[in-house]
C-alpha cells in the first residue's frame, strides 16, 4: 500500500514542486494551505508523513506540530518541518516540539526525497 | 605675688635695714650702761636727735628712689617685654621689642628680636614652599582639566556618592543633547559639579559596575567595567568605568576606591545603524531562502523529469520566472532602502571640509612649491572622510598636473549638492585625455618620495564617493571633482552664549568634592563656604504678584565649594500669558515677541526646581522673588522648601552703617566688575559675586555657618520691613 503524504504550505510555488515530486515517487499526496487546514487534513486524510512549513497563516508550523504531538493518536505520524528560517535556534525549537526532521529552504529535492523515504522505512 | 606688692615689701625691708641695726645697737648699749651714763647719753642724744632723724629719712628717701628706679627698669621693663613677645607670638608677627632700659635688658631684647627674626625667616620659607607646592598642584589640576576638555570622549569623574567632581566639555554637550522638555535645562540630564550622576545614569547599574570592579581588583584583574544604559529619553549610552584609587598607605595594602571615572558614549545612532545593517542582512538571507527554495525545487524537477507534460512544465517555468523576478525586486528594494548602511566600514571621521582644503593647500605648497588659491568655499560643510588619504590624493593629483601640464596655480572650491559635498581642484588650460586620467586613477599614489599602495580609486571608494574630470570650456579651465558624503556632526558646536560667558578656563572640575559628604538635606551647621548654592533672579511684569504680575524670566547660577560656576546656568524666558507693561520693558529689556511661545511658568518651575534641588537658594531681595515662586508652587506641583539667603540682608549684616544695600551699590562697594545688568542671568551672576565677597566679611563678624547667617539676617533692620 502506498504511503500517504500531506504537504502543508501556503506558497503554491513550492507546493507544486513538492506535490509533483512526491507523486512521481509513488506517494499518495494531499495539500493543505494553512495551519488549521493541516490539522483537519491530518485527522481526515491520515497521512504517514507531514511536510510542514513553519510560516503559515492562521496557525504556524510550530503550533501545528505541537498540537499534533499533544495527541497520542498521531504518535506514528512523521513530521518534517520545512522553513525559510535557517537559525540554529529555530531548528532546535522545531525538533524540541516534536518534529522528526527539519529542512531549511532552499533544499535539494533529491535529499528531501531520500529523507522522506528513509523515514518511512522504504530503502 | 604681684610686682606692686613685692615693691612695697622691698620698701619695708629697706626701712627696717636702715633703722634696725642702729636701734638694736642702741638698745644693747643702753642695757649695758649705768644710770649716770644713761642720763648723760640722753642729754647728748636728745639735743642731736632731729639731725639724726633727718639724715635717716633722707637716706631712706634716696634708698626708695633707687629701688623704684631699679623696679621700673628691670621688673616693669621685663614685664613689658614679655607682653611684646606674646604679641609677636600671636597677633603680629612683624612686631619687635623696643630697645630701652638698662644695658642688660637691652641685650635681652636684642637677643629676643634676633630669635624672632630667625623664626620669621623660617616661617616665610615654609609659606613659600607651601605656596610653591600649591601652585604646582594647581597647575597639574589645570593641565588635567585642559587635557580632559580637549578629549573627544565624554568624561565624568565622580566620588563614591556619585557626586560629579569633573566633567569635560564633550560630556556637557552630550548630556545637553540628551535633555528634553520645554526648557533648556530640563529632562533629567543635569550635569554639574557636586550634582549627582544618578540623575543621568541608573544608580543600580553604577553600583553594580563598582561591585564588578571591586571583584576584579580582588582577583588581580584590570579594574574596569562596561555597561550600557538607557536614559529617560530612550537614548542608549555605553559607559566605561575605571576606579579612582587612593594612594596605598603601605606596601601590599589594598588601595581604597575613592571615586570613579566614567567615559560615556552615546551609541543610539550606531546601534540604529547596526540594526539597519542587520535588517539588510536579514532581508537578503532569510528573505531569499523561500524564493530560492521554490526556484531550486522547480528547476530540479524540470531537469530531472524532462518528459513531463507540457502543461506541468509550463507551470514550473512560470514558478522559475516569478521567483527570479521576486528576488531581483527584493534586491533592488534592499539596495534602495539601505544603501547608506552598506557603505564600507572604513573608519571615516566627521571633519569640516575647509579643514581638509587647508591641509591640502599646505601640503601642495610645501611639497610642490605650487601656489594655491581658494574660490567659493562652503565653510559650514562637514564631510565624512579619512583626512590623511584624502589630502594625499589631492596632493598626488596636484603633483601629476604639475609634472604633466606644468600648471602654475591650483585652486580649490567647495560646495554642497544634496547629500554630497563637491570638492574641486581647478587649474587653467590644458585638456587632458580620459586615458591619462584613468592611469592616474589606477596607479599607486606617490608624492615627493612618499608612496602608498592605495590608488586614487581606492581612496574614492573608501569614502563611498566618486571622482571625475570636467572642463569649464568658457573659462578655459578644467577641474577634478571629488564627490564625498556630507556628514551631520553629532554634536553642535558650543553656542555663542556659552562662549561669551566662558572666559578663561572653564570650571569643569572640583577635586575638593572628593571629600564632599553626601547629605541630601541641607545641614544648617555647615560652614557657608562648604555649601552648594543656587543664586537666582527673576524678571517680572511688575512688582505685585498678588494683582497678577507674572515671572517672565528666571536666571540662575551655581556656587559649589566657594566657586562660581559660570558654565552651570539656568536661563529661561517664560510666557506670562498676558501683555507686558510698556513701562517695564526698558527695565528688563524683554519684549512681548521674546516671551510669546516660550514655555509657561507651570512648565518652567519644575525644571528650575530640579536645577536647584538640594542647594541653598540665594537672591538679592529674596523675599520678592520667593513670593513670586511661592504663588506658583501649587500650579507647578513643586515646593521650594530649602533655606533661602538674601544678599541684601547679608550686606546689611556685614556693613550695618551703610545707607544703601541695593545690588548696584553693593557691587560698587565690594569692587565687583560687572558688564551688563538687569537681565535675570546677569543679575544672578552679580548676586553670586556679591555673596562670595560677603562670606569672608561675615566670618569677621563671627558668622560662619548657614544657621548663623540665617539668624543674623533675621535680626537686621531690613528684615523687619514688609515687602
**What is the residue whose three cell numbers read 628717701?**
B61
Looking at the predicted structure, is the pLDDT value of residue B492 above 70? Answer: no
Indicate the pLDDT class of residue B691, thresholds 50, 70 and 90.
very high
Q: Cβ of A86 and B289 within 8 Å?
A: yes
Put simply, whether A90 touches B (Cβ < 8 Å) is no
Query: Hey, which CATH number is domain B349-485, 1.10.1660.10, 3.40.50.300, 3.30.70.270, 3.30.565.10?
Result: 3.30.565.10
At residue B436, the pLDDT reads 84
**Of the candidate ranges B140-149, B391-400, B512-521, B681-690, the one whose mean pLDDT is the lowest:** B512-521
Q: Mean pLDDT, chain B, as a whole number?
A: 82
Q: Which pLDDT belongs to residue B97?
A: 80
pLDDT-derived band of residue B505, with 50, 70 and 90 as boundaries?
A: very low
A84–B286: do the CB atoms touch at under 8 Å? yes
Residue B499's pLDDT is 44
Q: Convert B502-526 to b/e letters by CB count within 10 Å (16 or more is b).
A: eeeebbbbbbebbebeeeeeeeeeb
8 A C-beta contact, residue B603 and residue B183: yes
pLDDT of residue B497: 46
What pLDDT does B183 receive? Answer: 57
Residue B172: pLDDT band (50, 70, 90) is confident
Domains (range + CATH), chain A: 4-117 (3.40.50.2300)
pLDDT at B537: 93
> B271-338 — its CATH code?
1.10.287
pLDDT score for B324: 86
* Three cell numbers written together for B674: 560687572
Contact A104 B289 (CB under 8 A): yes
Q: What are the phi and psi torsion angles at B228 (to 5°)?
A: -115, 135
Confidence of residue B4 (pLDDT cuts 50, 70, 90): confident
**pLDDT attached to residue A49:** 94
Give the residue among B643, B138, B627, B293 at the shortest CA–CA distance from A109. B293
Out of B331-340, B382-391, B648-657, least confident range:
B331-340
The total number of residues shown for chain B amounts to 723
Query: Above 90 in pLDDT, residue A92?
Result: no
Average pLDDT estimate for B642-650: 90
Domains in chain B: boundaries: 3-89, 271-338, 349-485, 519-720
Burial class (CB in 10 A: 0-12, 13-18, 19+), B313: middle
Q: How many helices (H) and strands (E) does chain A have?
A: 5, 5
Q: Is the pLDDT confidence value at B310 over 70?
A: yes
Residues in Cβ contact with B494 at an 8 Å cutoff, skipping those fewer than 6 apart: B169, B173, B502
The answer to whether residue A105 neighbours chain B at the CB level (below 8 Å) is yes
More confident residue, B324 or B333: B324
Contacts of A107 in chain B (CB under 8 A): 293, 296-297
Please say if the pLDDT value at position B186 is more than 50. Answer: no
CATH class of B519-720: alpha beta
Please give the DSSP secondary-structure letter assigned to residue B464. Answer: T
pLDDT digits 0-9 by tens, A52-69: 998 888 888 888 888 888
| d(C-alpha B375, C-alpha B361), whole Å | 13
Tell me the β-bridge partners of B159. B259
Residue B617 has pLDDT above 90, yes or no: yes
CA distance B394 to B376: 18
Percent of all residues in chain B with a pLDDT value above 90, rounded to a whole number:
9
Across the interface, of A16, A24, A105, the residue whose CB is closest to B290 is: A105
Identify the burial level of B363 via C-beta atoms within 10 angstroms of its C-beta, where 0-12 means exposed, 13-18 middle and 19 or more buried: buried
Distance from CA of B328 to the nearest CA of A (A): 17
Mean predicted confidence (pLDDT) in B166-180: 77
Q: Are B683 and B618 in contact (CB under 8 A)?
A: no
Return the number of other C-beta atoms located less than 10 Å from residue B90's C-beta: 7
CA distance B314 to chain A (A): 12
Q: Does A88 touch chain B (CB under 8 A)?
A: no
Cα separation, B167 vs B188, whole angstroms: 17
Best mutation target, B287, B288, B290, to test chain A (most A CBs within 10 A): B290
C-alpha cell read off for A44: 481526515
Q: Does A20 touch chain B if contact means CB atoms closer than 8 Å?
A: yes
Over residues A89-103, mean pLDDT: 82
pLDDT-based confidence at residue B189 (cuts at 50, 70, 90):
low
Q: Is B644 helix (H, G, I), strand (E, B) or coil?
A: strand
Taking the CA atoms of residue A68, residue A74, residue A75 and residue A78 in that order, the dihedral angle to the nearest 10 degrees is -80
Q: pLDDT tens digits for B226-264?
A: 887 777 667 778 888 988 887 665 666 667 888 899 988
B296 to chain A, any CB pair closer than 8 A? The answer is: yes
CB distance B301–A17 less than 8 Å? yes
Q: Which three cell numbers stand for residue B18?
A: 636702715
Tell me the average pLDDT of chain A: 87
Q: Picking from A65-69, B90-94, B126-130, B320-324, which range would have the lowest pLDDT averaged per residue?
A: B90-94
pTM for the full predicted model:
0.51
pLDDT band at B339 (very low <50, low <70, confident <90, very high): low
Can you tell me the ipTM of this complex? 0.75
Name the least confident of B386-390, B406-410, B691-695. B386-390
Helices (H), B339-410: 353-368, 387-405
Cell numbers linked to B39: 642720763
pLDDT confidence tier of residue A9, bands split at 50, 70 and 90: very high
Provide CB contacts within 8 A for B594, sequence distance 6+.
Answer: B573
Cβ–Cβ contact A114 with B under 8 A:
no
Does the beta carbon of B289 lie under 8 angstroms from any beta carbon of chain A?
yes
- Could you tell me which of B337, B400, B405 has the C-alpha nearest to residue B364? B400
Q: Is the pLDDT of residue B346 over 80?
A: no
Lowest model confidence (mean pLDDT) among B77-86, B312-321, B334-343? B334-343
**Predicted pLDDT of residue B345:** 55
Task: Kindly determine whether residue A84 and residue B315, on different chains, have CB atoms separated by under 8 Å.
Answer: no
Chain B residue at shortest CA distance from A14: B294
Alpha helix positions (H), B471-588: 496-501, 585-588
Catalytic site includes residue B588? no
Topology alike, domains B271-338 and B519-720? no
Q: Does B285 touch chain A (CB under 8 A)?
A: yes
| Residues contacting B15, CB < 8 A, separation 6+ | B60
User: Is residue B329 within a helix (H) or strand (E), and if so which, with residue range?
Assistant: helix B310-338
Give the one of B289, B294, B322 whose C-beta lies nearest to A17's C-beta. B294
Interface mutation target, options A19, A56, A106, A107, chain B, most CBs of B under 10 Å: A106
Q: Which pLDDT score is estimated for B91?
A: 64
Q: Using an 8 Å Cβ cutoff, are B246 and B260 in contact?
A: no
Question: Residue B501: is it exposed, middle or buried by C-beta count within 10 angstroms (0-12/13-18/19+)?
Answer: middle
pLDDT, greater one: B597 or B347: B597
pLDDT in the model for residue B73: 82
**A53–chain B nearest CA distance, Å:** 10
Given a cut of 80, whether residue B564 has pLDDT beyond it is yes
Distance CA A37, CA A43 (A): 10
pLDDT at position B687: 93
C-alpha cell read off for B642? 530649602
Q: E-assigned strands of B549-588?
A: 551-560, 563-573
Q: Which of A17, A105, A110 sits opposite B292 (nearest CB)?
A: A105
Instruction: Give the residue with greater pLDDT, A114 vs B461.
Output: A114
Which residues in chain A have their CB less than 8 angstroms from residue B305's CB? 20, 24
3 state DSSP class of B446: strand
Distance (Å) of CA B374 to CA B168, B388, B412, B565, B676: 36, 20, 5, 42, 41
Q: Give the model's pLDDT for residue B181.
A: 58
Size of interface A-B (CB pairs under 8 A): 66
How many C-beta neighbours within 10 Å does residue B392 have? 21
Lowest mean pLDDT among A91-105, B236-250, B285-299: B236-250
Confidence of residue B496 (pLDDT cuts 50, 70, 90): very low
CA B352 to chain centre: 28
**CA gap B706, B702 in Å, rounded:** 12
**Rounded Cα gap, residues B262 and B166, in angstroms:** 10
pLDDT computed for residue B664 by the predictor: 84
Residues of chain B numbered 82-101 and touching chain A (CB < 8 Å): none
How far is CA B151 from each of CA B164, B167, B237, B263, B476, rounded to the nearest angstrom? 18, 11, 17, 10, 47
Amino acid at each position: 500500500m502506498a504511503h500517504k503524504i500531506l504537504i502543508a504550505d501556503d506558497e503554491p510555488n513550492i507546493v507544486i514542486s513538492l506535490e509533483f515530486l512526491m507523486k512521481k515517487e509513488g506517494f499518495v499526496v494531499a495539500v493543505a494551505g494553512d495551519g488549521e487546514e493541516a490539522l483537519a487534513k491530518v485527522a481526515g486524510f491520515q497521512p504517514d508523513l507531514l511536510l510542514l512549513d513553519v510560516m503559515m497563516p492562521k496557525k504556524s508550523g510550530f503550533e501545528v506540530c505541537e498540537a499534533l504531538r499533544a495527541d497520542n493518536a498521531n504518535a506514528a505520524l512523521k513530521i518534517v518541518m520545512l522553513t525559510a528560517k535557517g537559525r540554529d535556534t529555530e531548528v532546535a525549537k522545531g525538533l524540541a516540539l516534536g518534529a522528526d526532521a527539519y529542512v531549511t529552504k532552499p533544499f535539494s529535492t533529491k535529499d528531501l526525497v531520500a529523507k522522506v523515504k528513509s523515514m518511512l522505512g522504504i530503502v | 605675688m604681684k610686682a606692686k606688692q613685692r615693691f612695697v615689701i622691698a620698701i619695708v625691708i629697706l626701712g627696717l635695714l636702715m633703722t634696725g641695726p642702729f636701734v638694736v645697737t642702741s638698745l644693747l648699749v643702753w642695757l649695758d650702761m649705768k644710770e649716770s651714763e644713761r642720763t648723760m647719753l640722753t642729754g647728748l642724744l636728745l639735743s642731736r636727735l632731729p639731725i639724726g632723724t633727718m639724715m635717716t629719712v633722707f637716706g631712706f628717701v634716696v634708698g626708695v628712689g633707687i629701688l623704684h628706679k631699679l623696679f621700673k627698669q628691670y621688673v616693669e621693663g621685663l614685664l613689658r617685654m614679655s607682653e611684646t613677645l606674646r604679641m609677636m607670638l600671636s597677633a603680629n608677627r612683624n612686631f619687635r621689642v623696643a630697645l630701652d632700659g638698662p644695658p642688660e635688658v637691652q641685650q635681652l631684647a636684642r637677643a629676643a628680636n634676633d630669635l624672632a627674626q630667625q623664626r620669621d625667616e623660617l616661617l616665610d620659607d615654609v609659606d613659600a614652599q607651601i605656596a610653591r607646592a600649591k601652585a604646582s598642584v594647581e597647575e597639574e589640576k589645570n593641565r588635567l582639566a585642559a587635557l580632559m576638555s580637549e578629549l573627544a570622549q565624554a568624561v565624568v569623574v565622580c566620588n563614591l556618592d556619585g557626586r560629579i567632581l569633573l566633567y569635560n566639555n564633550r560630556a556637557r554637550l552630550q548630556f545637553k543633547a540628551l535633555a528634553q522638555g520645554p526648557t533648556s535645562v530640563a529632562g533629567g540630564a543635569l550635569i554639574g559639579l557636586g550634582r549627582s550622576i544618578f540623575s543621568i545614569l541608573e544608580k543600580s547599574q553604577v553600583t553594580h559596575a563598582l561591585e564588578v570592579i571591586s571583584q576584579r581588583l580582588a582577583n588581580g584583574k584590570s579594574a574596569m567595567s562596561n555597561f550600557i544604559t538607557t536614559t529617560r529619553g530612550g537614548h542608549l549610552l555605553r559607559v566605561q568605568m575605571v576606579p579612582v584609587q587612593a594612594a596605598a598607605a603601605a606596601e601590599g595594602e589594598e588601595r581604597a576606591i575613592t571615586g570613579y571615572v566614567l567615559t560615556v558614549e552615546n551609541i543610539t545612532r550606531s546601534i540604529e545603524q547596526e540594526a539597519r545593517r542587520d535588517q539588510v542582512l536579514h532581508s537578503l538571507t532569510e528573505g531569499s531562502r523561500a524564493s530560492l527554495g521554490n526556484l531550486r525545487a522547480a528547476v530540479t524537477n524540470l531537469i530531472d523529469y524532462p518528459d513531463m507534460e507540457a502543461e506541468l512544465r509550463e507551470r514550473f517555468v512560470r514558478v522559475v520566472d516569478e521567483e527570479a523576478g521576486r528576488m531581483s525586486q527584493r534586491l533592488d528594494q534592499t539596495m534602495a532602502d539601505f544603501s547608506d548602511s552598506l557603505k564600507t566600514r572604513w573608519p571615516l571621521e566627521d571633519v569640516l571640509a575647509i579643514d581638509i582644503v587647508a591641509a591640502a593647500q599646505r601640503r601642495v605648497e610645501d611639497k610642490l612649491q605650487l601656489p594655491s588659491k581658494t574660490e567659493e568655499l562652503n565653510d559650514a560643510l562637514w564631510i565624512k572622510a579619512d583626512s590623511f588619504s584624502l589630502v594625499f590624493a589631492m596632493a598626488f593629483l596636484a603633483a601629476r598636473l604639475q609634472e604633466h601640464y606644468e600648471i602654475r596655480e591650483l585652486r580649490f572650491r567647495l560646495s554642497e549638492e544634496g547629500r554630497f559635498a563637491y570638492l574641486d581642484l581647478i587649474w587653467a588650460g590644458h585638456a587632458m585625455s580620459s586615458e591619462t586620467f584613468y592611469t592616474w586613477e589606477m596607479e599607486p599614489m606617490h608624492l615627493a618620495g612618499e608612496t602608498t599602495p592605495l590608488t586614487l580609486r581606492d581612496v574614492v571608494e573608501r569614502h563611498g564617493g566618486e571622482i571625475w574630470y570636467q572642463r569649464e570650456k568658457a573659462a578655459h579651465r578644467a577641474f577634478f571633482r571629488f564627490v564625498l558624503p556630507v556628514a551631520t556632526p553629532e554634536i553642535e558646536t558650543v553656542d555663542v552664549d556659552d562662549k561669551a560667558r566662558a572666559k578663561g578656563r572653564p570650571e569643569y572640575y572640583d577635586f575638593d568634592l572628593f571629600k564632599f559628604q553626601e547629605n541630601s538635606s541641607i545641614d544648617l551647621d555647615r560652614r557657608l563656604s562648604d555649601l552648594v548654592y543656587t543664586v537666582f533672579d527673576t524678571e517680572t511684569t511688575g512688582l505685585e504678584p498678588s494683582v497678577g504680575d507674572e515671572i517672565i524670566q528666571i536666571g540662575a547660577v551655581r556656587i559649589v565649594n566657594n566657586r562660581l560656576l559660570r558654565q552651570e546656568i539656568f536661563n529661561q524666558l517664560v510666557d506670562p500669558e498676558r501683555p507686558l507693561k510698556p513701562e517695564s520693558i526698558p527695565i528688563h529689556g524683554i519684549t512681548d515677541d521674546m516671551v510669546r511661545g516660550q514655555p509657561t511658568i507651570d512648565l518652567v518651575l519644575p525644571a528650575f526646581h530640579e536645577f536647584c534641588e538640594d542647594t541653598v537658594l540665594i537672591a538679592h531681595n529674596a523675599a520678592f522673588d520667593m513670593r513670586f515662586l511661592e504663588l506658583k508652587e501649587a500650579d507647578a506641583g513643586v515646593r521650594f522648601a530649602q533655606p533661602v539667603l538674601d544678599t541684601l540682608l547679608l550686606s546689611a549684616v556685614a556693613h550695618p552703617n551703610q545707607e544703601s544695600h541695593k545690588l548696584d551699590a553693593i557691587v560698587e562697594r565690594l569692587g565687583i566688575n560687572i558688564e551688563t545688568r538687569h537681565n535675570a542671568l546677569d543679575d544672578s551672576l552679580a548676586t553670586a559675586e556679591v555673596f562670595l565677597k560677603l562670606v569672608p566679611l561675615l566670618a569677621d563678624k563671627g558668622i560662619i555657618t548657614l544657621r548663623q547667617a540665617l539668624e543674623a539676617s533675621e535680626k537686621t533692620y531690613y528684615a523687619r520691613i514688609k515687602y
